Each structure stands twice: as structure tokens, then as C-alpha cells.
Amino acid sequence: MAYSEIVMDHFKNPRNVGEIPDADGIGEVGNPVCGDMMNVYIKVKDNVIEDVKFKTFGCGAAIAVSSMITTLAKGKTLEEAMKITNRDVAEALGGLPKNKLHCSNLGADALHAAIKNYLDRKAGKIPDLAKDREEHIKGAGEGGCYCPYCHKETLEEAPFCLFCGAEIPHEHDH
Amino acid sequence: MALIYLDHLSGTPLHPRVKEAMIHCIQNVFGNPVSDHQVGQRAAALLERAREQVAALINADPGEIVFESCGTESVNHAIKGVALGLREKGRRIITSNIEHKSVLNSLRTLRLLDYQVTSLDVDASGLVDPAQVEKAITPDTILVSIMLANNEIGTIEPIADIATICKKHKVLFHTDAVDAVGVIPVDVKELGVDLLSLAANQFYGPPGVGALYIKKGTPVWPLLDGGAQENKRRAGTENLYGIVGLGVAAEVAKEEIPQRLPRIRRLRDRLRDGLVARIPEIIINGHPTQCLPHLLSVSIKYIEGESLMLMLDEEGIEVATRSACASGSLRASHVLIATGMDFATAQGTLLFSLGRDTTEAEIDRVLEVMPPIVQTLREMSPLYKKAQ
């Protein structure tokens, strides 16, 4: 496992660390079981993300992803920001190690959660951060024993997918 | 910037005498120890010399030592070898929840072949209770495998007590002693074990060579099938250069352990006490006294270990977040979870392992560099905010 230079730069000098006390939207994703938690705070003016900050508990990749998503999102309209994908973030970072793509690459999810939170608030709904976070965790862990690469069912004991050879991610790695 | 290497569990540098012996061997010796001509017999003599050196380190007879390609192979050989050797007698194997992956994954494979595994809980300090071992033994139990010292938290298990129980119930006992042999005194006769695994790269020998102690008369089927090497216990041409290195490392360890131990323990204690004094909300893992002298595992609340490890690396301080064999995994350490730690705290774990070259100045440098890095990462963490 080695990180790209861009990842190391964003890890060592993370942009936009912190909280926005009077944020218009807050997104919280991830869970400490996976080893990564990401909070994104946005300030919105005239449908544009005027300011964005993050707080992250996680590995080098998770911190770099958080830093990158804030730089990508700043100044974008909400519609543009909703179009940023986790893949875009990984690409902007010059790639991420394969075993980090799933768990640590939560940046776009966190940003979208913050935007959804902002829109909910605007619509007068009471946002339920705990429930949103719960849904994210459920969505990420669904499925049980299938290979995420070739989608064939696989033995729980198998150290790697016996069909396509891909490494089976950490849910099975113990 | 000179690197400060505090990851000796993942591999030690070669001892100068080991290096010298290996270079001499590479320059002067070739041939296959099984050949009956002079060239082969010169190689065979070196092989047997190394066998004596390893046997002397753990108080075994040379005939009870089988060379292997690493600690993992030794463990695989012990566990799968007994499973095959005693397949008619029974199919249950007892182990603990904190074993090295070579044990856990050997058992994973055996489960596919209809062996049953009982995995015992440990207490908060990582100790296996011998009474629980006795309770778990059933008439079809053939093997108990409990590690001598844990490779993530350093806890030293009550091996002699467990061996007594196994003997009473006529069950074979293997101990994975990879992280203990060459670090602390290990005596197979005092311990009373039937099988013991060790690896050279834990005590200043080369990587890629280990050994399995098989007490005379223990029914162990070979893991590698082929020719008659290693008294038919392990087929395949021996890694002579590596084995010569292992032999000298064993000889040197036997000589140096009495001096290495108190020095390294003092440095480890200095690191532990210094970190506790400088970093709030830090947890020292493992047993407070019954533990390896060169290992320190700490869990630092609200931050994640890998980011801390990378930042220390930037400062030239080389540490691990967990066992090297498990570092491809993103999951929190199964060892720490088994001791009852929550996932988030377990993710914030750093593993320091000191060596014979570690100096007080290096420890003090860590104590100076690490607290501000921890603070930076905590300021970045959403968990830290919530806790305050």
C-alpha cells in the first residue's frame, strides 16, 4: 500500500479542517467500526457552497479524501456539488489503494449528506443526523458473502474470491 | 534524518555476527546437504551446527528441531500436521481468540475439512484462563494451540499451566512462540510443550527462516511432501544461508538475552511512562507485568492509528499500527476487540517494538514529537469534539 503524492499532500496539509458553528448543513457518514468517520459542514449562499469544512476520524486516505472534497465543493452550486462522486474524489487524489476505495472514500457521501441536511432544514423538516448516518452504514454493509468485483457468491472462509481472484474486503478479513 | 526504528516485531536488522556468518557461507559454501559427497557434506555440517544452536536456545535436542521457511510455516506445520497425524483420534482443536493469523487461518482451512475449533475468550489483559482450556477439552480433542506471547499486546500466556492440563488429558499442545523466542528465555522442557514455533527475524536473524520444535514421538504429518530432508519432517531443499543465519542468531541471543532484557525493559518503561505523562486519554494495552519486555501497545482515544503512524513516519519514526501480518486489513485488531475494547478506540492503536540498538535519545525524541501530532489529529477528529 502506498499513497500518491497528492494524497500525502492533502493528508499532511489538509485544507478546510474544522467546524462551521452556524453551518447551514451538516453531513455525518461512516462509523468507527470501519475506522472512518467524516463530518462535513457547509455554508450556503444563493444556492452556492460559500464555505465548507470537515472533521474526520480516519486513516491517511480518509483525511486526504475529506480535504479534497472540500476543495472540490467550495464555490460550486448545490446541483454541481451533488454531481461530484466518490470516484471523482479518488481520481482528483491521483488514485487510492484498492483496499481504501470502499471504506475511506466517503467524501462525496458526506458532502451530499450535508446538502441534503441543508435542503431538509430549508423545507422545514427536522433533520435526523443519527438516522441518516445509520442509513449510510446499512447501505455500505449490505449483502453478506458475495465478491464485490465479480458478484459471485463466495465462501465466508475464502481468503480471496476463488472465481476472479480479487481480494475480499475487510468484512471478511479477520 | 536518521530513522528511529521501533517496529522490531515486523522484522529485526541482522546482528553483525549473523551477517558475517551468512556472508561467509554465501562466499564459501554451496551444494545440497542431502548429497553424500564432500561438497554436500560440508553444507550438511553447517545445517547440523545450526540445528544444535537453535536447540540450545530453547533447551531441546537437535533431533527435535525442523527448519521451516518462516514462523507461519512452522505454525501451519504444527497445526495441520497434528490434525492429519491424529485424524483418526479426533477432530477438535482448541485455541484462543487472540492468536496470530497463521493459527487462525490454519484453523479456517481445517474447518473446511470438518475439523471443529473451540476458540477461547481472554480477559481484558489478554490472558487465557487455563481452567477454561481444561473445560473445553472433549474426548475428541487432539490439539491445543495457545501462543506464548501475543504479538499485538505482548501478554505472556500461562503456557506451563496449560501444558500440564494438556498432558493430564493426553492432548497435544502447540505454542506459537514466534514473538518470544530470542527475546525472552524460552525452555521447552520447563514449559512442557509438544510443539513450539519460532522465527529468525524476531531476534536479529534473516527473514524467511523459522523452525518448529517437535518433541520426540509427537505424531506430526509433514506439511510439505517430497524428499527426505529434515528427517522426513519437511521436504524441500533447505535454505542453508538463512538457516546458518538463524543458528548464529540463536547462539547470540542465548549469550545476549541477560544483558538485552533489563536495558530494553527500562527503555520500554521510559516510553510508556513518558507517553502516559504527556498524552491524556491514552490506554496501555496488554498485561501490566506479564508481558514482552520490548513491546508497547497504546490506544489513543479519538484518533485513528494509521494517520498517526504516517505522521510519525514523516518525522522519521517507524512504528506499526498492528501486527505486520494483519496490516493489509482495515478492521480493528481482533486481539484488542477480544480484550473487550470498543472499535473506535482499537482503531487508534500504535505498536512500538524496541530493539537491541534502541537508545534513550530515540525514546526521548518520540516523547517530544508524538504529543503535538496526537493533538493535531484530535483537533481534526469529530469524536474528540463529542467527548469534550
B387: confidence class by pLDDT, cuts 50, 70, 90 = low
Range 74-93 of A in CB contact (< 8 A) with B: none
Whole-number mean pLDDT of chain B?
95
One domain for residues A111 and A148: no
pLDDT of residue A131: 66
Percentage of chain B lying above the pLDDT 90 cut: 92
pLDDT in tens, B293-328: 999 999 999 999 999 999 999 999 999 997 554 444
Q: Given an 8 Å threshold on Cβ–Cβ distance, is B304 in contact with A39?
A: no
Q: What is chain A's alpha carbon radius of gyration, rounded to the nearest angstrom?
A: 17
Q: Are residues A52 and A127 in the same domain?
A: yes
Q: Which domain holds residue A100?
A: 5-142
* Interchain contact B379–A (C-beta under 8 A): yes
Does the pLDDT value for residue A167 go beyond 70? no
Clarify whether residues A108 and A172 are in a common domain.
no
Which residues of chain B neighbour A35 with C-beta distances below 8 Å? Answer: 304, 306, 330-332, 343, 347
Q: Is A62 on the interface with B (CB under 8 A)?
A: yes
The confidence score (pLDDT) of residue A157 equals 63
User: What pLDDT sits at residue B21?
Assistant: 98
Looking at residue B91, its pLDDT comes to 97
Which region among A5-19, A126-140, B96-110 has the lowest average model confidence (pLDDT)? Answer: A126-140
- Which of B112, B329, B380 comes nearest A63 by C-beta? B380
Stronger pLDDT, B12 or A148, i.e. the higher one: B12
**B374 has a pLDDT exceeding 60:** yes
Mean pLDDT of chain A: 81
Q: By the CB < 8 Å criterion, does A116 face chain B? A: no
CA gap B274, A121 in Å, rounded: 48
Q: With a cut of 90, say whether residue A25 has pLDDT above it.
A: yes
Partner residue facing A11 (CB), from B310, B344, B383: B310
In whole angstroms, what is the distance from residue B37 CA to residue B343 CA?
60
> Considering the domain B16-253, what is its CATH architecture?
3-Layer(aba) Sandwich (3.40)
Question: Would you list the domain boundaries of chain B?
Answer: 16-253, 258-383
Question: What pLDDT is attached to residue A160?
Answer: 73
Q: Does B1 touch chain A if contact means CB atoms closer than 8 Å?
A: no
Whether B314 and chain A come into contact, CB under 8 Å, resolves to: yes
pLDDT of the residue at A30: 83
In this predicted structure, what is the pLDDT of residue A139? 42
In angstroms, the Cα distances linking B204 to B5, B14, B75, B179, B294 are 14, 5, 20, 12, 14
**pLDDT over threshold 80, residue B164:** yes
Q: Is A130 on the interface with B (CB under 8 A)?
A: no
**Helix residue ranges, H only, chain A:** 5-12, 60-73, 78-83, 86-92, 98-101, 107-122, 129-141
- Chain A residue numbers touching B343 (CB-CB < 8 A): 32-33, 35
Q: Are residues A152 and A116 in the same domain?
A: no
Residues A149 and A137 in one domain: no
What does the DSSP 8-state code read for residue B8?
G
Residues B226-238: what's their mean pLDDT?
Answer: 94
A59 and A132 in a common domain:
yes
- pLDDT (0 to 100) of residue A36: 82
pLDDT attached to residue A173: 39
ipTM of this predicted structure: 0.79
- Regarding whether A97 and A156 lie in a shared domain, the answer is no
Which positions ≥6 away from A165 have C-beta within 8 Å?
none
Same fold, B16-253 and B258-383: no
Q: How many CA atoms lie within 13 A of A111 on its CB side?
A: 32
Report pLDDT digits (tens) over A51-68.
999 999 988 999 999 999
Q: Tell me the C-alpha distance between A19 and A111, whole Å.
A: 14
B307–A59: do the CB atoms touch at under 8 Å? yes
Residue A34 falls in the annotated catalytic set? yes
Query: Cβ(A122)–Cβ(A78) under 8 Å?
Result: no
The answer to whether the CB of B163 falls within 8 A of the CB of B154 is: no
Closest partner residue to A12 (CB to CB) among B314, B342, B382 is B314
Same domain, A134 and A156: no
Mean local confidence (pLDDT), B260-268? 97
B114-126 pLDDT tens trace: 999 999 999 999 9
Rg (CA), chain B: 21
Q: Clarify whether residues A108 and A47 are in a common domain.
A: yes
d(CA A114, CA A136): 13
For the question of residue A147 being annotated catalytic, the response is no
Q: Which fold has domain B258-383?
A: Aspartate Aminotransferase, domain 1 (3.90.1150)
pLDDT of residue B180: 98
Question: Do A23 and A108 belong together in one domain?
Answer: yes
**Quick one: closest CA in B to A173, which residue?**
B329
Q: Chain B, 342-371: which have a CB under 8 Å from a chain A CB?
A: 342-344, 347
What separation in angstroms does the CA of B213 have from each of A169, B54, B184, B207? 35, 9, 17, 18
**Chain A residues within 8 A of B336 when measuring between CB atoms:** none
Share of chain B above pLDDT 70, in %: 97
Express each pLDDT in A96-152 by its tens digit: 887 777 667 889 999 999 999 999 998 887 766 666 665 555 444 434 455 656 666
**Beta strand residue intervals within B3-74, DSSP E:** 4-5, 65-68
Question: What pLDDT digit, counting tens, does each position of B315-371 carry?
Answer: 999 999 975 544 445 567 889 999 999 888 998 999 999 999 999 999 999 999 999
B203-220 tens-digit pLDDT: 999 999 999 999 999 999
Residues B163-188, mean pLDDT to the nearest whole number: 98
Q: What is the pLDDT of residue B353?
A: 98
Total structural domains within chain A: 2
Whether A101 and A149 map to the same domain: the answer is: no
Answer yes or no: do A88 and A130 share one domain.
Answer: yes
The yes-or-no verdict on residue B149 having pLDDT over 90 is yes
Q: State residue A171's pLDDT score.
A: 40
Interface A:B, Cβ pairs < 8 A: 83
Q: What is the CATH number of the domain that holds A113?
A: 3.90.1010.10
pTM: 0.89
